[in-house]
Amino acid sequence: MMKKCCIILSVLIGFITLSFTTQQQDVKASIQRGKKVYEKACLACHQKDGEGVPRMNPPLIKTMQVLGNKEKLIRIVLQGFNEEVEINGEYFDNPMPAQPQLSNQEIADVLTYVRNSFGNKATAVTLADVKMVRSKIK
């Protein structure tokens, strides 16, 4: 006969597995939505596979900005970016326009997509992350 604690334990494990799977599905859905946002808001400059355009638009492949600090990355989209960046020995100094008209969800999705495409692998950017950064700006 199963002891009470074993039943409680299996139910608990069930819940944990379920919430983990749900989280993974949420990230998957965000990546799918993010691809659409990328196509309308980033692709023209950073290109289909994130390879960018030599001397004009930097690649989004395993760069410090893409894989690093999420707040900085969110700020690049919300506030634009105008610093000379060096990526693999190439310098880029065209300014990137801000896109504050994108919704918090669109920004979370597009950045989660970028962080998990083009050979990148990094944690998701959540709606809460973007909300927090936008509230600091306005």
Please report, as residue ranges, which positions from 42 to 61 form the binding site for ligand HEC (by CB under 6 A). Answer: 42, 44-46, 57-60
- Cα–Cα dist 107/1, whole Å: 52
Q: Which residue carries 């998701």 as its tokens? A: 124
Each residue 110-129 as x (binds ligand HEC by CB under 6 A) or -, in order, gives x---x---------------
Residue with Cβ nearer ligand HEC (99 or 132): 99
How many Å is the Cα radius of gyration of the chain?
A: 19
Closest CA to 102 of 73, 130, 137, 70: 130
Residue with Cβ nearer ligand HEC (94 or 132): 94
Handedness of CA 127, 27, 96, 71 (dihedral sign): positive
- Cα–Cα dist 103/68, whole Å: 22
**Using rule CB under 6 A, residue 130 touches ligand HEC:** no
Residue with Cβ nearer ligand HEC (17 or 36): 36
User: For binding to ligand HEC (CB under 6 A), which residues are involved?
Assistant: 41-42, 44-46, 57-60, 63, 65-66, 73, 76-77, 81-85, 87, 92-97, 99, 110, 114
